[in-house]
Amino acid sequence: MLLAQGKLDTALESYRQSLATAERLAAFDRSNTGWSRDLSVSYNKVGDVLVAQGKLDEALESYRQGLAIAERLATADRSNAQWRDDLRRVIGKIDKLAYRLVLAREFAIALEAADLAISFAPEEIWLYANRAHALMFIGRTDEARALYVKYHGRKDVSEGKSWETVVQEDFAELQKAGLTDPLMDTIEKLFRAAT
């Protein structure tokens, strides 16, 4: 409720209290997977509020903690659909955070976040877009170009969208935010030439 009302400081305090309780319970009995899951969820909720407050580097650290627990649970019991979903959910949160970091011109941290998400789901092509964006703005143009080209022609990368659509939609939003690079024009011309 506090989060929905925009009372971010109070919501963060409440989530941090829940996190402290979850940490104590999980430490008391490390074999209790329910308490471990609660701890992971608590880290993610704290991360959500930190993102809303614009504290993106702190949010990354909170998500990183939640991700480690979610990965451990999902690996321990691959048949547990809830734990697999939890893992996918936090990977998605980290990917969205990577994009927010690009928009905030925090390119090195954006690259770190993108690489973290990719390390847990390397088969998910859509995660590579934020890595390419961060590389481009850091000045690692050859690496960025290689990623943009690598997935050229791939269909249904994210929500039924092709790789080209995902990248071009990101480019449009980045340009609206005042973020441009000559590589963007090169990639867009390449994509148009192929259609």
User: Do residue 87 and residue 41 come from a single domain?
Assistant: yes
pLDDT at 194: 67
73 and 136 inside one domain: no
54 and 145 belong to one structural domain: no
Same domain, 162 and 108: no
From 122, 147, 182, the end of a domain falls on 122
Q: Domain span at residue 132? A: 123-195
- Asked whether residue 85 falls in the same domain as residue 11, the answer is yes
Domain stop point among 122, 140, 175? 122
Which residues touch 145 (CB under 8 Å, ≥6 apart)? 183, 186, 187
Asked if 109 and 128 sit in the same domain, the reply is no
User: What whole-number distance in Å separates Cα of residue 44 and Cα of residue 160?
Assistant: 27
Distance in angstroms (rounded) separating the CA atoms of residues 114 and 128? 7
Query: How many Å separate Cα 137 from the centre of its chain?
Result: 18
State the pLDDT at residue 2: 62
Dihedral class, residue 103 (left if φ above 0, else alpha if ψ from -120 to 50, else beta): alpha
User: Tokens 């877009």 correspond to what residue?
Assistant: 129
Give the pLDDT score at 195.
Answer: 57
In contact, 37 and 86? CB cutoff 8 Å? yes
| CB contact set of 114 (below 8 Å; sequence gap of 6+) | 95, 98, 127, 128, 130, 131, 134
Q: How far apart are CA 95 and CA 113, in angstroms?
A: 7
pTM of this prediction exceeds 0.85: yes
Residue 46 sits in a domain of what CATH number?
Answer: 1.25.40
**Same structural domain, 10 and 86:** yes
pLDDT along the chain (195 residues), means of 10: 70 78 79 87 93 94 95 91 94 97 97 97 96 98 97 92 95 97 96 77
Max CA separation in the chain (angstroms): 60
Q: Give yes or no: residues 172 and 80 share one domain.
A: no
- On whether both 36 and 87 belong to a single domain, the answer is yes
Please state, in angstroms and rounded to a whole number, the distance separating the CA atoms of residues 143 and 137: 11
Which helix (H) or strand (E) segment holds residue 23: the answer is helix 8-28
Domain count, the chain: 2
